[in-house]
Amino acid sequence: MKLLHVIASVRAAGGGPAEAVRSLSAVHQREGHFVEVASLDDPADPEVSAFPLPLYALGPARNTYYFASGFVPWLRQNRTRYDAVIINGLWQYHSFGAWRALRGTTTPYYVFPHGMLDPWFKRTFPLKHAKKWLYWPWADYRVLRDARAVLFTCEQEKLLAPQSFALYRAHPVVTGLGTTSPPAGVNSTAFLERYPELRGKRLLLFMGRLHPKKGCDLLLEAYAATLANAPAWRLVFAGPDASRWQQTLAARADTLRIAGRIVWTGMLRDTLKWSALAAAEVFVLPSHQENFGIAVAESLACGVPVLISSEVNIWREIEAANAGLVAPDTIEGTTTLLTRWQQLHQAERATMRQNARQCFAQHFDIEHSAARLLEVIEATTSESIVHG
């Protein structure tokens, strides 16, 4: 099968969608399928030349909407090379542009919203939501309406999606999502060599963008309330600071008198990323909204239990597997997560580590979701699919 992924940007700082494209495509390529990517990135961007898949960078895009005038003509000219086009994400020109290029043609397309229809955004940013309403009826509403299928990473995402806009039509299918297993022989050595002050410490790891949505401020307050006086513990924030929030967080940590117990690493990639997970005792993500959470799945793959909020959409699978702990996305909830972890007996923590690996294998191994995606495409290009 010949597949084209369309995405606004492949830059790693963009988070989950780009990682999903990389992971799914790697599986499909190994199985002999032909996969390419079209983005609206600047061709001169170093991350473009380093991207591990055949990539057409059709930018540089203008403004935050990522408008690139050459995208639609390119896709119209090249669409017949592909059996299916997969749109990753909404609200930027790549989704509406793909609809413009493919509507009325024989080339089927599919949409991964990647959590961008979650009603949390409607509640939290009402002014932005009002602006989206002006855009929705003539743009992304049509993108979803005319897609062969709208692909959701979990049942919770599918259930929440219709709540954002009253005008909503889609053919929903849950394909799941996941990540790759850690490289063979991965261990904590590389990370601890980079940060030798963490040797012998118990590490509480946050890995992801430093963004208000992620609940980093809740984690600071909870850490100060529970572990500030526990000398063996350190809190590690590993992730990019695109929203320039780290300075605010660091100032708050200084006020709470925990600054000396926190390490800010910036984004970790490849070996360092996996090594940090191997070094962690537990992973924490008290997010206010998380569609899937690639880093959560990566933690489970490494046998690292996860402490997450009930706003992380895959919380049901994790709780059912006893692979982590779940609480509300509040200071009290996050404090409860850290307290409960401390109170677990060593044998209970060991069991939870085993459960984490089993939960990953059952629910979040990218091999499963890659196979499901192909099943959906094959079914919808030949006959009607039972949606659900």
Write down how long the chain is. 388
Residues 31 and 124 occupy one common structural domain: yes
Q: What backbone phi and psi angles, to 5 degrees, belong to 263?
A: -120, 130
The reported pLDDT for the residue numbered 75 is 98
Count the helices and strands in the chain (H runs, E runs): 17, 13
- Please check whether residues 209 and 290 belong to one and the same domain: yes
Q: Are residues 172 and 198 in the same domain?
A: no
Mean pLDDT for 258-266 is 96
> Is a pLDDT exceeding 80 seen at residue 268?
yes
Say whether 46 sits in a helix, a strand or coil. helix
Residue 388 lies in a domain: no
Residue 384 has pLDDT above 60, yes or no: no
For residue 335, pLDDT over 50 is answered with: yes
For residues 252 and 228, is the Cβ–Cβ distance under 8 A? no
State yes or no: pLDDT of 16 exceeds 90: no
Does 353 reside within a domain? yes
Quick: pLDDT tens for 140-169: 999 999 999 999 998 889 999 999 998 999
Q: pLDDT (tens digit, 9 = 90+) per residue, 352-366?
A: 999 999 999 999 999
138 shares its domain with 229: no
* Together in a domain, 372 and 317: no
Average pLDDT over residues 62-73: 93
Going by C-alpha positions, the residue among 81, 114, 111 that lies closest to residue 95 is 111
Average pLDDT over residues 278-293: 94
Q: pLDDT category, 382, cuts 50, 70, 90?
A: low
Tally of domains within the chain: 2
- Residue 386 pLDDT greater than 60, yes or no: no
Regarding whether 243 and 137 lie in a shared domain, the answer is: no
Torsion of CA 166, 99, 3, 378, to 10 degrees: 60
Widest CA span in the chain? 64
pLDDT at 294 over 70: yes
* Cβ count near 163 (within 10 Å): 14
pLDDT digits (tens, 9 = 90+) for 113-136: 998 999 988 988 899 999 999 899
Q: Which domain holds residue 91?
A: 2-178+366-382
Residues 149 and 195 in one domain: no
Please indicate, yes or no, whether residues 207 and 294 belong to a single structural domain of this protein: yes
- CATH number of the domain bearing residue 272: 3.40.50.2000
